[in-house]
Amino acid sequence: MIEPIDFIRALWRSDRYIETIYLNGGCYQFYILLKTIYPTAEPYTSFDRNHIATKINNVLYDVTGDVDDSEWFEPLTKEQEEICKKWSFSKNNSLILAECPVCEEPITI
């Protein structure tokens, strides 16, 4: 089986927006993705409750790789998980694709 860090690095190479998506509302969805590949994965939340990391084989990961400041995370409770399931990059953020050549307004999705 591929090591988690190798999977994350391969994911980085797939699209330049990967980190943007999974660091801005999609971190719980990143846990779900990792859980499909690593069934023993467990969700952890930062103490300020604004980020999810995934524990696999006693190492915490997020889309940036292994989490250096793992002492700032604790297991996600079932109550917290219900809130995190609603987090979404696409519901709360936009990607700027380009500027309009006429008015210079950003073209976003």
46-60 pLDDT, tens digit per residue, is: 999 999 999 999 999
Question: CA distances (Å), 32 to each of 41, 51, 54, 67, in order?
Answer: 9, 14, 9, 17
Give the pLDDT of residue 69: 82
Residues of the chain with pLDDT below 70 are 92-97, 106-109
- Reported pTM: 0.83
Q: Given this model, what pLDDT does residue 90 score? A: 77
The confidence score (pLDDT) of residue 28 equals 96
**What's the pLDDT score for residue 96?**
61
